[in-house]
Structure 1
Amino acid sequence: MKPLLLIAHPGHELRVFEWVHRARPLVVMLTHGDGSIGQPRLDDSRRLLARWGVEVRSDWLSPVSDSVVYQALLGTGASPFQDWLDRLTQAALDADIDTVVADEAEGYNPSHDLCRVLANRLVMRLREAGREVRNLEIPLVGHPCDPARDEQVEIEVRLTEAEHQHKLEQMLDYARRCSPVLLVEVQTMLDSFGTQAFARECLYPASRTPYEEGRLPDTLPYFERVGEERRAAGIYKDVIRSRHLLRLVTGVGDPG
């Protein structure tokens, strides 16, 4: 198996920490992970992955600032999406990639959802080129191995007690070093699901997003609701909405 792990932000690899350790995928990250606080964490992920001989393939796709993605979505900057797709397609063909693992679209962050669309488009192109490619997704804010989804699991990794403890330590250490915002997110996940939930890692068959079907999500995404709240509080000037994602993905719609 020659897997590619395609993620929107550095740190997402921690969700499948042991799978990465065992599978040694090629890793591509769309952004530096600087977010709204301007504190990149790409180097932290590079150092973490390098311990296992896993390289972030910046030669395949050079990570950009989160602001580049946000400006592309808002229509105030050029979109890197088509260039990303073209470059990844050729690189994946050359490397004979047979499995693509990427973020699940959960409506939490627009970059996560965009990453899922990119992965789906990439797999579609590879299949059109005659390659047999599995397309898998990992939850980032939802339960890492939701019991209600057990029948859907395509790859499952069960961690030993020692592996589990090491993973928890690495998650918290990474978050403490990178940003207080990330630390809160990690601690919230641990509190919500319990630490034992992270003793399993589940990779699921990927789903199509509503954007690829030319429609908006049935429910208001979290990122849009929070964006509205922060604009009302004077924190954000502009709100990224689901229609911006739809426009970027399909080229249809008003960017405003």
Structure 2
Amino acid sequence: MHETVRALRTIRGRWAELLLAIEEPPADHWPPRQLAHTMRESDEQLVVEDRSPLVLREHPAPINLGALDAGRGVERLVFDLADTLAAAVQRTEQGDPRAWLSADPSAPDSRRAAGSRVHGLHWACVWIEGRVQDEDTAPERELDGALAPPPFEVLPLHLLHEARRTARIAEARVLRALGLDQRDTPLPEPCPWCEGELTLHSAPDGPPAVTCSGGRACSAPVPLDSRERARVWEWDDLPELIAALGVDLSAVAAA
């Protein structure tokens, strides 16, 4: 359950970045895109709740087709998972705002045909998280004091496993599209201090870092790794390395 919730929250937290990436050229792996974005003069904010789902609209002239494909694929995974869970455990009336309404292609109105998908990926992730955590599964007291059946049943184990599998696949697609997945990428430039090989290390659960193969022989003003085999530029040290390599980070951020 905890892995599923974490994956869903990662998807939600990175969704605005993915939507922005659709409208930008594919980002190079170097310099790290997170560091370049912190240099932007204008703070780009995107209210994703106001954006129609990608699967329900035509995207005008996408620049990054890989990001667009990833976004559409993630939406389908998450929306289809919500449909599956709702069919299995939802017992509330459709007028209940907590209810997930599955798509109905036969409906004449496009918004009604889309069901709850029209509210976008954020709402779908929040709704699935509620099912995974067995929210609203206790009987509810009505105005006359009587107990009414709960809006949702407890999620059975096989669907809990399915939710975990789907959420992790969707999370991986988002992170991969943004270049934030686990990867080690050799840089084309050698270390400015010792000519050793530089490698960029990225991971979904932390900022990127760069290591130099020169180890103790390298005179770079950064510490060695835990095995004392490589110099390491952590997040706060990366601007110094980028400057030493002659990269104009402000120009990258403005691109």
Per the normalisation by structure 1, the TM-score is 0.21
TM (norm. structure 2) is 0.21
